[in-house]
């Protein structure tokens, strides 16, 4: 769906059924149509290893869940603009 729609932003969770969020992130970042999509992983798996896996997959940012909509909105505005 992301490749077809070419979104500006994708919010992904690591712990979703296959394909997981990191696999989806890799696919988004390697497809020419979506390579510029800003990918944020929002996950309760906030350990250093999970963050490192997300960075290796190509994520642009990582937010520990639970997070507030205000926190997420501020991150996106500061990272990609309004």
> Which tens digits make up the pLDDT trace of 35-73?
999 999 998 888 889 899 999 999 999 998 888 889 888
How far apart, in whole angstroms, are the C-alpha atoms of residue 38 and residue 58? 10
Q: What's the burial of 68, exposed, middle or buried (CB within 10 Å: 0-12/13-18/19+)?
A: exposed
Residue 28 Cα distances to 51, 71, 74, angstroms: 18, 24, 23
Residue 29 Cα distances to 37, 39, 55, 70, angstroms: 7, 8, 12, 26
* Residue reference for tokens 């960075």: 55
Amino acid 2: pLDDT: 82
pTM, two decimal places: 0.86
Q: Is residue 82 very low, low, confident or very high in pLDDT (cuts 50, 70, 90)?
A: low
Query: Where are the domains positioned within the chain?
Result: 2-65
Q: State the fold for domain 2-65.
A: Rossmann fold (3.40.50)
């Amino acid at each position: 769906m992301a490749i077809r729609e070419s979104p500006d932003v994708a919010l992904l969770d690591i712990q979703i059924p296959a394909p997981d969020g990191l696999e989806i992130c890799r696919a988004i970042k390697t497809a020419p149509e979506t390579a510029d999509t800003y990918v944020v992983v929002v996950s309760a798996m906030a350990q250093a290893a999970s963050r490192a896996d997300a960075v290796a997959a190509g994520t642009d940012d990582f937010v520990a869940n639970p997070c507030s909509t205000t926190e997420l909105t501020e991150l996106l505005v500061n990272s990609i603009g309004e």
